[in-house]
Homo-oligomer: A and B are copies of this chain.
Amino acid sequence: MGTLRQDATTNEWVILAPERAGRPVPATPARAPVPSHEPACPFCQGNEHLTPPEIARSPASGPWELRVVPNRYPALAPGGTTDRHGEPLAREMDGVGFHEVVIESPLHDERTDDMTTDRVAAVLATWRDRYRALAAEPGVKAVVLFKNFGERAGTSLVHPHSQILATPVIPPDALHRYAVATRYFDDTGRCVYLDVIERELRAGERVVAERAGLVAVAPFASGVPFETWIAPRSKRPSFASVGDDDLPELADLLRDVLGGLRRAAGDPDYNLVIHSAPAGEESKPFFLWHLRVLPRMVTPAGFELGSGMSINTVAPESAARLLREALARVPVR
């Protein structure tokens, strides 16, 4: 018999059914080989004219190592207003916001876990800088920073990149998380995320890696196999608060976790998402920014879409153990 586990940060139950891992599932196709330069790729060096005008770049002069550009097919765009129109049963508003792309490398085939820690730190610094800039824009209620790695993770371009969407409403998941965290803070005077992380550090079995200021854990109520959170170990509600001094450690840990995942879980496609306090709530102590790596080894089906409940066939304790073993084999850069 499996187990139901409750995520204390959402109060939602997850079904943990390791026996179900025995059922036949379509094999994950091997990752196709990727060239280091692809003439038709709009993100490759030499094709800079194929993207909208640059918002930022690094380094400031000389050949670029990363660029930030507006998404050519934006889900949200500047202009318009946040006024609501229509009837109560059919409310609409302009699709106002920002949708940016961080081109993380001039090389078409470079993976985050193959980059040097310095290069990963430069990507993270750019994420942080753009996070700060977009959170400060009038009308922006939340900034969602994410990376889609591989076709099963929904990417449409192989070239290493991440995306930032600044939304004019607080997204539903965030609204729910903030409500739970606020309630917990009201009840206890503490941050539920920090309490969860302290508990994980004491329990130990789901800890993937530790650093002085950060921890990587396979959460107790993991929704998908090898789900991993990277979080600060002290009060940091917003990703905007990440300082330059924090970047090397964060880069090193992220690189390790992605390299470990590649070795432990058969190089799965994955999404990476940063959760952070809403814009304007950066100083509230109830939330804790954190980064989630969500491997896409299984396809959510009708049950998950219809119920919002996950069925996870890999216990986070097993995933954490395999990740720890694999981390020991990640080369240092």
Contact = CB atoms under 8 A, between A and B. Distances in A.
Interface of A: 1-6, 8, 10, 12-13, 15-17, 19-20, 22-26, 72-77, 79-80, 87-96, 142, 144, 146-148, 151-157, 163, 165, 167-169, 171-174, 176, 192, 195-196, 199, 220, 271-275, 292, 294, 298-309, 311
A95 B171 contact: no
Contacts of A195: 89
B307 A89 contact: no
B13 A199 contact: no
Contacts of A79: 1
A88 B245 CA distance: 35
A151 B26 contact: yes
Secondary structure class of chain A's binding surface, majority of residues: mixed
- How many copies the complex holds: the figure is 2
A124 B2 CA distance: 29
B95 A301 contact: no
Contact of A305 (B89, B294, B311): B294
Contact of A302 (B2, B10, B90, B148): B148
Given A24-B157, A25-B156, A172-B309, 11 more contacts: A2-B95, A6-B90, A6-B92, A13-B93, A13-B169, A20-B73, A23-B73, A144-B302, A146-B305, A153-B302, A155-B301
